[in-house]
Copies of this chain bind each other. A is one copy, B any other.
Amino acid sequence: MKALTVDVICQTLAARIREGAFAASGRLPSERDLSEQFSTTRITLREALGQLESQGMIYRELRRGWFIAPPRLAYDPLLRSHFHAMAEQQGRTAQTCVLDARTVKVSREVAEKLAMREGEEAYRVCRLRHIDNRAVLYVEHYLNPAYFPDLLSFDLTRSLTRLYQQQYNIHYGRVGFTMLPMPLPKFAAPALKVAAGSPALFITRINRDQHDRIIDCDYEYWRYDAMYIAVEAGEEGRTP
């Protein structure tokens, strides 16, 4: 049972990273450098980097290089707290960019989620969210315009939660969500500076208000290594 080259590289690099070796720049040496250091091929070296990547220890930006991964953010999809507040509670800094905000005709799929009809108009807000200056989440929000007249005239970099409350007196009620690991689709990849097809977490949520009306839904594409889900359920005790 000889030690595999890949494993040796993984363990060595992991140890160096834990010791804070590349913490200064946050960046690893080039693949060619590393493959020489370990007297191996770039193929093999990349195999090792891939394993560390899948452990969430390092990550890459497309054609830019390899970087030390920051710790994961804890995320509760049942909580509708502001993204920024959530980040700050965990000692992180958040940033939001609005990539696009407009009226669109909803697809069949979105229509189903929002209890609307295919082709009806809804607001769509596409945003990119950063934690500690790293793009971690691309999210498309679909809002039923019946509940949010003139939404596009507001500042959408802010928390939608707060906007709902302050402008429309709408509060979140029940939530449902799905989550599945899937490769990052092409339209979300560039914003996250990630190769299309790399592993990601896809989350959809359907939100209701205090009157149990479906008010919006969203499609969230997370870097798979940027967060973990932590749900604390309330008093349900549903055991069918």
In contact, A177 and B231 (Cβ under 8 angstroms): yes
Separation in Å of the A207 CB from the closest CB of chain B? 10
In contact, A81 and B239 (Cβ under 8 angstroms): yes
In contact, A197 and B233 (Cβ under 8 angstroms): no
In contact, B181 and A77 (Cβ under 8 angstroms): no
In contact, B232 and A234 (Cβ under 8 angstroms): no
Question: Are A229 and B179 also in contact (CB < 8 A) when A161-B239, A238-B234 are?
Answer: yes
Q: Name the contact of A237 in the complex, choosing from B56, B77, B210, B239 (C-beta under 8 A).
A: B210
Separation in Å of the A181 CB from the closest CB of chain B? 5
Copies assembled: 2
In contact, B174 and A231 (Cβ under 8 angstroms): no
Instruction: Name the CB-closest residue of B to A56.
Output: B182
CA distance A187 to B92 in the complex (A): 34
CA distance A231 to B233 in the complex (A): 10
Residues of B contacting A238 with CB < 8 Å?
Answer: 78-80, 234
Residues of B contacting A138 with CB < 8 Å?
Answer: none
In contact, B231 and A231 (Cβ under 8 angstroms): yes
Q: Name the contact of A183 in the complex, choosing from B55, B177, B236 (C-beta under 8 A).
A: B55
Instruction: Name the CB-closest residue of B to A184.
Output: B54
Q: Name the contact of A224 in the complex, choosing from B173, B181, B234 (C-beta under 8 A).
A: B181
Q: Does A43 contact B (CB under 8 A)?
A: yes
Q: Does A98 contact B (CB under 8 A)?
A: no
Question: Are A229 and B172 also in contact (CB < 8 A) when A81-B240, A197-B51 are?
Answer: no
Report A140-180 residues with CB < 8 Å from chain B CB: 161, 171-180
Interface string of A193-234 (1 = CB under 8 A from B): 000011101000000001000000000000011011111111
In contact, A181 and B161 (Cβ under 8 angstroms): no
In contact, B179 and A179 (Cβ under 8 angstroms): yes
Q: A174-B237, A181-B225 are in contact. List 6 more A-B contacts (CB 8 A).
A: A55-B197, A79-B238, A173-B237, A174-B233, A178-B228, A199-B199
What are 10 pairs between A and B in contact, CB < 8 Å? Answer: A51-B183, A51-B197, A54-B199, A74-B178, A81-B239, A81-B240, A161-B239, A199-B199, A231-B231, A233-B236
